[in-house]
Amino acid sequence: MRKKYNPSKDLQESTANSYNYRIVMPLHIPNFEGYFKDAFTIFKMSLQSLYKTIHQKTAITIVNNGSCDAVVDFLNDEFKKGTIHEVIHTEPIGKLNSLLKVLRNIEEEYVTVSDADVLFLNGWQDSTTQVFNVFPKAGVVGIIPQFKLYTTFSYNLLFDNFFSKKLQFTKVINPEALIKFYKSIGWDDTYNKDYLKTNLTLESDTKVKAIVGSGHVVATYKNEVFEQLPIENSTYQLGGNSERLYLDEPVLKTGGWRLTTNNNYAYHLGNVFEGWMLEELNAINDESDREIIKSSTVLLKSSKWKYNLKNHLFRKLLSRKSIFKRMLIRKGLDKTIAEKY
């Protein structure tokens, strides 16, 4: 039996607090032992850096992928305080399947997909928006520069700008940040040191440079990219072909470019706490009340034949070492460096 009138019926949703950015962060901390010993501390640092650096039109969604009770209680408390806008609790279903619970229903213009061990730095969001604004074909923008990002899922961008002088190797702005990133993922220092000197960048008409390519640790996507998601969920808890299918190919299918900010705007912390991390967190200024940069409304368009031309046929052409090396030299890389690049 029903009595009276439901006060929510026919009530229109208020748009006064609508968002144009959404941060989505999958979280899996099943315990505080071994690999996960410092994970909770690092996750809370990541959240604190977000609180300081996002603008007021940004929502935070945490997808709890089978974490322990202490983490669940913390997330629920943050939600009650309003610092986290949405918490989704699931069984351990894997990183990508956790993300899919949100990505299939995104309403915001931009969605930032981030690991739970990222320290966001001042300026990351404005710099990301700027790249989207000056490069209308950008489908995803990362904020952590890495080595040779142009070699992965960026053949459409290379095709579109192959003869452009605005696509050139330029000096790395922050080599120290590059060194920190590769240390954070467990690399030793035996890699080619030439990678610390130059990056392949694309320059806009307004002289803004962005690095070609983007990684997966943290990156922001245009909403329409996720209209290309596969119907099926991932069969992997982590890794496998999951990132390619759900984060890389959807960008390419909309004709979008993969780019990264030319400067470093975040640190990947890994699973072991170090003192410098707290110093970096304390150095972050609270800029949550700043003026919001107006974002571009240019939408990406999908085209099956262009997708095949740029990401299959052109990729096969560049897979020939001689042609690829000539491209590197044409784009400003020294011949001696190109031989071993």
98-142: per-residue pLDDT in tens? 888 899 888 999 999 999 999 999 999 999 999 999 999 999 999
Architecture of domain 21-338: Alpha-Beta Complex (3.90)
Q: Shortest CA distance to 42 belongs to which of 52, 30, 51, 29? A: 29
Residue 14's pLDDT is: 45
Order of all β-strands in the sheet with 138-142: 86-90, 58-65, 21-27, 110-114, 218-222, 138-142, 257-261, 209-212, 198-203, 167-171
Residues with Cβ < 8 Å from 56, sequence gap 6 or more?
288, 289, 292
Q: Shortest CA distance to 216 belongs to which of 76, 70, 98, 118? A: 118
Give the DSSP H or E segment for 125: helix 124-134
To the nearest 10 degrees (0 to 180), the angle between helices 275-283 and 39-53 is 20
Contact 217, 114 (CB under 8 A): yes
Question: What is the residue extent of each domain of the chain?
Answer: 21-338
Q: What is the pLDDT along the chain (341 residues), one digit of tens a residue?
A: 455 444 444 444 444 458 999 999 999 999 999 999 999 999 999 999 999 999 999 999 999 999 999 999 999 999 999 999 999 999 888 888 888 889 988 899 999 999 999 999 999 999 999 999 999 999 999 999 999 999 999 999 999 999 999 999 999 999 999 999 999 999 999 999 999 999 999 999 999 999 999 999 999 999 999 988 877 766 555 555 668 888 999 999 999 999 999 999 999 999 999 999 999 999 999 999 998 988 877 889 888 999 999 999 999 999 999 999 999 999 999 888 888 88
Residue 323's pLDDT is: 92
Distance CA 90, CA 28 (A): 10
Contact 251, 258 (CB under 8 A): yes
Q: Shortest CA distance to 215 belongs to which of 270, 159, 140? A: 140
Rounded alpha-carbon distances, angstroms, from residue 36 to 27, 64, 94, 278, 306: 12, 15, 16, 18, 44
The verdict on pTM exceeding 0.75 is: yes
168-190: per-residue pLDDT in tens? 999 999 999 999 999 999 999 99
